[in-house]
């Protein structure tokens, strides 16, 4: 006779998942924030808005993943940095509208739950939440036999922030003559990795543990550099200075993302020589013979955020950014849009 079967026999271990929740609770407790109610383990995360102290509070939400950068984590067997990436991709999108991130939720799916890997991932998520000043209030860990290869997984993240209605940054105050200030990225961040992997592994036949002279480190170390979280810097800037538009430079690069914050009557001129590209971008462009236009619409090329600022406040913004540890430079200006001309011009 067929022996009695359990969920564990089918590849899903409920007891192991319950043990993991205990560790997640410890990590979440290290990301406290006013407004958090209860603790992880309920059916839904609770958050009170009574601490907002705003006339017309507006919630701002964002969701994202880490993309095929995860493949590098699998090869390196290093899983804590992608947790930071996961938080960064969503909270950076929230803060560009002037919103303060409140809380974060994650979704982690694996073929077979490996507590060691899961704890590394969630520890990274906790670190990202600390950097962003938001609370980790819940999530989902799904064990899905037959869907993922051994020791592989997928991640998704969800961030919610809050901003007073009259302080939303939507680009409507941008005018011709405003300057563009670029904030340096920490490297590739979490975009363009399908092209990165094709160049590095298919064209160059490199290994992740291989030292690359042009980068000054191993390929894997460079590729797993976490996405920079700009939340603290931007919240402090918008508190004291007029920032009329902010673009997070993610998928689509500078070309596609800067136009998302511009009024219809405006275009921009960007001077490529105004900032130094980190070596990884030149390395990829040369090895893959990637056209310049493709580079600019795929990667951040060393600029993770662009601030649109009145000319009279440029020096103040750069000085403040420098004081907070950011590399900030003027990279261009806002122009009047002309028919038949691209909205993003390069010089």
What pLDDT, on a 0 to 100 scale, did the predictor assign at position 39?
A: 79
- Name the pTM for this structure: 0.93
May I ask the CATH architecture of the domain 7-164? 2-Layer Sandwich (3.30)
- CA 161 – CA 97 distance, rounded (Å): 10
What pLDDT, on a 0 to 100 scale, did the predictor assign at position 194?
A: 96
What pLDDT, on a 0 to 100 scale, did the predictor assign at position 163?
A: 96
Any bridge partners for residue 156, and if so which? 107
What do you get for the CA distance between the two ends of the chain, in Å? 77
User: How is residue 261 annotated by DSSP?
Assistant: G
What pLDDT, on a 0 to 100 scale, did the predictor assign at position 335?
A: 96
Tens of each residue's pLDDT in the chain, 347 residues = 677 877 777 777 777 888 888 888 888 888 888 888 877 777 888 888 887 788 899 999 999 999 999 999 999 999 999 999 999 999 999 999 999 999 999 999 999 999 999 999 999 999 999 999 999 999 999 999 999 988 899 999 999 999 999 999 999 999 999 999 999 999 999 999 999 999 999 999 999 999 999 999 999 999 999 999 999 999 999 999 999 999 999 989 999 999 999 999 999 999 999 999 999 999 999 999 999 999 999 999 999 999 999 999 999 999 999 999 999 999 999 999 988 888 999 99
What pLDDT, on a 0 to 100 scale, did the predictor assign at position 288?
A: 96
Asked if the domains at 7-164 and 178-346 fall in one CATH topology, the answer is no
Q: Which two tokens stand for residue 13?
A: 């271990």
Q: Are 129 and 121 in contact (CB under 8 A)?
A: no
What pLDDT, on a 0 to 100 scale, did the predictor assign at position 98?
A: 97
* Of residues 157, 166, 220, the one with CA closest to residue 193: 220
- CA 41 – CA 225 distance, rounded (Å): 31
* Superfamily, domain 178-346: PurM-like C-terminal domain (3.90.650.10)
Q: Residues 143, 148, 151, 156: is their CA dihedral positive or negative?
A: negative
Distance of CA 244 to the CA centre of its chain: 21
Question: What residue segments make up the domains of the chain, in order of their start?
Answer: 7-164, 178-346
């Amino acid at each position: 006779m067929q022996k009695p079967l359990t969920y564990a026999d089918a590849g899903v271990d409920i007891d192991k998942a319950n043990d993991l929740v205990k560790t997640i609770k410890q990590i979440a407790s290290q990301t406290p924030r006013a407004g958090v109610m209860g603790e992880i383990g309920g059916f839904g995360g609770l958050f009170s808005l009574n601490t907002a102290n705003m006339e017309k509070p507006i919630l701002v939400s964002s969701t994202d993943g880490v993309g095929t950068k995860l493949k590098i984590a699998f090869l390196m067997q290093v899983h804590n940095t992608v947790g930071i990436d996961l938080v960064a991709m969503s909270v950076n999108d929230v803060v560009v509208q002037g919103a303060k991130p409140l809380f974060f939720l994650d979704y982690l799916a694996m073929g077979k739950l490996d507590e060691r890997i899961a704890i590394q991932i969630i520890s990274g998520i906790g670190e990202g939440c600390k950097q962003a000043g938001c609370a980790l209030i819940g999530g989902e860990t799904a064990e899905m036999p037959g869907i993922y290869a051994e020791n592989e997984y997928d991640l998704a993240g969800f961030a919610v922030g809050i901003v007073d209605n009259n302080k939303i940054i939507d680009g409507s105050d941008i005018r011709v003559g405003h300057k563009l200030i670029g904030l340096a990225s920490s490297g590739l961040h979490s975009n363009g990795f399908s092209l990165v992997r094709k160049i590095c592994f298919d064209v160059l036949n490199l290994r992740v543990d291989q030292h690359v002279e042009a980068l000054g480190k191993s390929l894997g170390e460079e590729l797993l550099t976490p996405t920079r979280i700009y939340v603290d810097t931007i919240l402090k800037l918008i508190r004291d200075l007029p920032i009329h538009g902010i673009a997070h430079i993610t998928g689509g690069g500078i070309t596609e993302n800067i136009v998302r914050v511009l009024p219809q009557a405006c275009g921009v001129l960007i001077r490529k020589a105004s900032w130094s590209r980190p070596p990884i971008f030149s390395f990829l462009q040369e090895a893959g013979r990637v056209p310049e236009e493709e580079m600019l619409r795929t990667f951040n090329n060393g600029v993770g955020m662009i601030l649109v600022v009145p000319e009279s406040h440029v020096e103040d913004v750069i000085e403040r950014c420098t004081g907070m540890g950011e590399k900030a430079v003027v990279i261009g200006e806002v122009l009047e849009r002309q028919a038949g001309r691209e909205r993003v011009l390069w010089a």
